[in-house]
Structure 1
Amino acid sequence: MNSLRLGLWLSGLLLMPGPLMLGMPALAQQADPAAGLVLQPARYRAVLGSPPAPGSRQELDDLAILRWNQRSRTPAGILHSWHFLNRHLSLFDAAVGADLARTSPHLVAGLPSFVARAEALKDQLKDAAARPRPFLNHRDLSPCLPLEMSWSFPSGHATWFATAALLLADLLPERRERLLQVGLQGGYVRAYCGLHYPSDVVAGQRLAEAISQELIASPQWRTFKQQLAGERRQLLEVPPAGLPLLVD
Structure 2
Amino acid sequence: MKSIRILIAAAIYLISTAPSGFSQPLHSLEPVSRYYKTYGELSGHPNPERAWMDTITFPWLEYSPNAITNSLVRTVYLKPEDEAKLPGLSHPPANSSDQTRAELDHLLSLQNSRTKEQIARAEYIANIGSWFNILNPTDPDYEENRKQLFYIAESVGDWYNYKNFPATTQLLLNCIQDIRVTEFRLKWVFKRARPYHLEPKLQPLTRIKSPSFASGHSLWSFTEAFLFSEIIPEKRAAFIEKADEVRWSRELLGIHYPSDNEAARVIAWHLLKYWMNNPQFVTDLKKAKAEWKSLKRDL
TM-score by length of 1: 0.75
Contact 2:153-2:228 within 8 A present in 1 as well: no
Relative distance call for 1:235 and 1:132 in structure 2 (3 A) is: farther
Q: Which residue of 2 aligns with 1:211?
A: 271
2:96 matched to which residue of 1? Answer: 55
CA–CA separation in structure 1 for the residues paired with 2:117 and 2:182: 34
Alignment of 1:140 with 2:182, yes or no, is no
Q: How far 1:110 moved relative to its partner?
A: 3.0
Q: Deviations over 1:49-71 (max 9, x none)?
A: 2x111221001111111001101
Question: Which residue, 61, 64, 68 being the options, matches 2:105?
Answer: 64
Aligned to 1:103: 164
User: Does the 8 A contact of 1:103 with 1:231 survive in 2?
Assistant: no
Give the alignment partner of residue 38 of structure 1, picking from 64, 79, 86: 79
Q: Which string of whole-angstrom CA distances, capped at 9 and with x for unpartnered residues, describes residues 112-152 of structure 1?
A: 212321321232222111111111232211122x3212100
Change (3 A) 1:3 1:185: closer
1:155 pairs with one of 215, 221, 233? 215
Write out per-residue CA displacement over residues 193-227 of structure 1, whole angstroms, 9 at most, x where no aligned residue: 11111111111111111111112443122211222
Q: 1:5 to 1:162 in 2, by over 3 A?
A: closer
Does the 8 Å CA contact 2:77/2:178 hold for their aligned counterparts?
A: no
Say if 2:90 and 2:263, in contact at 8 Å, map to a contact too.
yes
C-alpha distance in structure 2 between counterparts of 1:74 and 1:178, whole Å: 24
How many residues are paired up?
211
Q: Does 1:177 align with 2:254?
A: no
> Any idea what SS the aligned residue of 1:53 has?
coil
Matched, 1:78 2:119: yes
Give the Å deviation of 1:83.
2.8
Range with bigger deviation, 206-215 or 105-114:
105-114
Q: Which residue is 2:179 aligned to?
A: 118
Matched, 1:186 2:243: no
Distance in 1, Cα, partners of 2:38 & 2:245: 14
Gaps of 5+ in 2: 1-32, 40-74, 130-147
Q: 1:81-109 CA distances to partner (integer Å, 9 max, x unpaired)?
A: 12322212232242222331233133123
Partner in structure 1 of residue 262 of structure 2: 202
Q: Contact 1:84–1:91 at 8 Å: present in 2 too? A: no
Between 134-143 and 165-174, report the one with greater CA deviation. 134-143
